[in-house]
Amino acid sequence: MSFKEIHIKTTNRTEMIEITGVIDKFVRDSMGNGIVVVCSPHTTAGITINENADPSVKSDMIKTLNKLIPYRDSYTHLEGNSDAHIKTTLTGLSVTIPVINGKMILGTWQGVFFCEYDGPRNRKFNIKSIDG
């Protein structure tokens, strides 16, 4: 079993940053078969899997999330980032990916994304392998 903490700097209030390559390198360097778990330790930033071939998917997702959950609304949370907490709950904090022969088992068009909802910030995410 291996663990790695990755630091990432976001540049926008809401953005999706593809992190598939970082996870792939970790998997190739540290495991054969099992699962890899990728987790955000933040309550206003998530992790998700979605299409990574067409960049308009990211912009469509961000646009729709911002439309459904606007930055400013009648929230009562004092920090002013309730929308970010709600968006994180919807996308989730982690993903679990099967690994066979040192390769993540993802669909042809799938990639892993770090989802920033309260940036820009210095963030991190964790990667944990579980051999099996």
Condensed to tens digits (0 to 9), the pLDDT of residues 5-28 reads 999 999 999 999 999 999 999 999
Q: What is the pTM of this model?
A: 0.95
- Token pair for residue 19? 């992190």
Determine whether domain 10-42+52-131 maps to CATH 3.40.50.360: no
The number of beta carbons lying within 10 Å of the beta carbon of residue 77 is 11
Condensed to tens digits (0 to 9), the pLDDT of residues 21-49 reads 999 999 999 999 999 999 999 999 999 99
CB distance 13 to 118 below 8 Å: yes
- Token pair for residue 5? 């903490």
**b vs e for 19-53, b when ≥16 Cβ sit within 10 Å of the residue's Cβ?**
bbebbbebbeebbeebbbbbbbebebbbbbbbbbe
Give the type of residue at 107. Answer: G
Give the type of residue at 4. Answer: K
